[in-house]
Amino acid sequence: MRKFFHQFLFLLDSHARKKILVLLIFFILSSCLDVVGLGLISMFLALIINPGKYLNYLPFNHFLHKEELIFFSGSLIILSLLLKAIFNSFVQMQVVSTGFKFNLSLKIRLIHTFQYAPYIYHINQSSSSLLARMGYIDTFTGSILLPSLSIASNLMITFGITCFLIVLNPISTALLITLCGVFIGINNGLLKEKIKKMGKIFTDGSATIIKNIQHSISGIKEIRIFGKEQYFLSRIEASAIVCGKASETNALYQTLPRYTIESALSIFIILLCLGSLFFGMKPENIISFVGVFAAAGARLLPTMTQLTAGINQIRFSAHSMDKVYHELKVLEQIKSAAIPKASSNKIQFSTISLQNLSFHYPNRKIHALRNINLTFHKGQSVGIIGASGAGKSTLINVLLGFLEPQEGKILIDEQAITNMREWTNNFAYIPQEIFLLDDTIKNNIALGIEESEIDQDQLEKAIQMARLDQVINELPEGIETLIGEKGIRLSGGQRQRVALARAFYHDREIVVLDEATSSLDNETEREIIHSTKCLQKVKTLIVIAHRLTTVQHCNIIFKLSQGEIIQSGSFQEVIGRNMLTA
């Protein structure tokens, strides 16, 4: 229980906590109104059964007849019950509003921590697991937060009605509490651990479904070529069946408390009638006495049913809350290492140096980079070559500020970097797999800028520099053409040109080509290389490549092997004429 409240309060933001305090006040008022309504019903039953005894206590008894007074009293009670219903509806509306606002707030909080988490965190995560966490937030809101508020409300209503019944008849109330406690205790003992188990199965199964769906969509070409559609369908179906059975079992368990409490209340009413007769109570008094408990039972039945069902629902969904809690806890503990928020400022530079730089990934003994020393200047073209696993991409990720070296430092004009965000603002990054939005060419080039704020002159200039104008002119909707998910409607070379245009539009000083041409044909590669050669002395180029022709135009080349620089110098010094012609 302590763990639950700790996690629950951690996930609530300050606004949600304040709102819940206000709701608790509303719940107390609602409970008071329920007690008042029950008291009015009790008085009205007594008035019906023995009008002569109680009519003299009513106002206007000298001006109205007995039937008129009863009708007048009943009308006032109906009006008060309607007002109570309106107030309760208002409270319920506030509960739902709070839940959905919190849902949005928690999703934004989680997305924010994802976005600003260190790059090393994302290396160790899959996109499907991150998407599953967003689904867990919906589960937390709908199956933990809202039921918790409902439990708080129902507890207060149950407490208020119980206090009223104790004042009316403490012995009968004690019997009612005992019966309900026994039935609920048996229900709780039998179902508690089973519900928790079903909840964990459902949560883990849902994450597996998301992962397999993502795999089956992203790998549609390979899956179809190898004819493995049924393999993924079977995996999805198997997880869906497991989730369905867990959900079905939970739904069954949710209905049991209602029948348990209903049985307890029915047995209580019968025992109350028998007990009243046994102790010689007059039939007319029994009707009034039992009627009050029956009215209380009618109000307690849905209240206690919702109470126990809410507790069971929380148990079923607790694993989802646990997942979200640990995700946020980890992310918020490491967010201090993340890149600062966006800024338009840039660190000006003339020389970039890496001194005695070493890096190794967590839980790995071998260094990905070891004692790296290199220097290059603004306007130079720098080539980085080496076999797969030599450390080329790791070196670039360190230079970009995505990875923090355990040893050594990066110096800009012999000064340490004080703001990594301002340093990163110098870079444009063009990998082999280009990140493209399922949007227009225009919005992909001006990535992250609202359409109304796009500089058209700068956009046209960037398109011409990337030699993308001919491609755009051939498209029916030109720059407004939708390119599909991951740019599927464009060829590989066209996607690279969009990425180049993006770099030119955002006017970045350093353009990184990370195996950007490795999947292109020779002719398209020559065109892309020609476009980048035009940037020499205008932009600083860093080219990572396997193909030697890609780095032939570079001023300086660094060759890596097993995380170390083994050669550096001009193309001729590092590669040699014979290797180029081989």
Domain ranges of the chain: 2-335, 351-581
Question: Contact, 514 vs 429, CB < 8 A?
Answer: yes
How far is 309 from 504, CA to CA, in rounded Å? 59
- One digit per residue, the tens of pLDDT, for the chain of length 582 reads 788 888 888 888 888 889 999 999 999 998 888 888 877 777 777 667 666 655 565 555 555 566 666 777 778 888 888 888 899 889 888 988 888 888 888 888 888 887 777 787 777 777 767 777 788 888 888 888 888 888 888 888 888 888 888 888 888 888 888 877 787 777 777 777 888 888 888 888 888 888 888 778 777 766 776 677 788 888 888 888 988 888 888 888 777 777 777 777 788 888 888 887 777 777 666 776 777 788 788 788 788 888 888 888 888 888 888 888 887 887 777 655 555 666 778 888 999 999 999 998 887 778 889 999 999 999 888 999 888 888 888 999 899 888 888 899 999 998 988 888 888 888 888 887 888 888 899 998 988 888 888 889 999 988 888 888 888 888 888 888 888 887 888 887 788 888 888 888 888 888 888 876 655 556 666 666 666 666 666 788 888 887 777 788 888 999 998 889 998 888 888 886 445 433
pLDDT value, residue 581: 39
Instruction: Confirm if 150 and 95 have CB atoms less than 8 A apart.
Output: yes
* CATH architecture label of 351-581: 3-Layer(aba) Sandwich (3.40)
Which alpha helices (H) appear in 141-282, and where do they start and end? 146-168, 170-218, 220-225, 229-278
Residue 220 neighbours by CB distance under 10 Å:
12
Of 418, 405, 417, which is closest to residue 357 (Cα–Cα)?
405
- Among candidate residues 539, 543, 458, the one with its CA nearest the CA of residue 501: 458
Q: First and final CA of the chain: distance in angstroms?
A: 71
Amino acid at 485: E
The contacts of residue 249 (CB under 8 Å, 6+ apart) are 194, 198
The runs of H, that is alpha helices, within 124-169 are: 127-140, 146-168
Q: Quick one: which of 381, 399, 411, 385 has its CA closest to 556?
A: 381
Q: Choose which CATH entry (1.20.1560.10, 1.10.10.10, 3.40.1190.20, 3.40.50.2300) describes domain 2-335.
A: 1.20.1560.10
pLDDT score, position 580: 46
**Phi and psi for 78 in degrees, rounded to 5?**
-60, -45
DSSP string, 59-88: TTTTTS-HHHHHHHHHHHHHHHHHHHHHHH
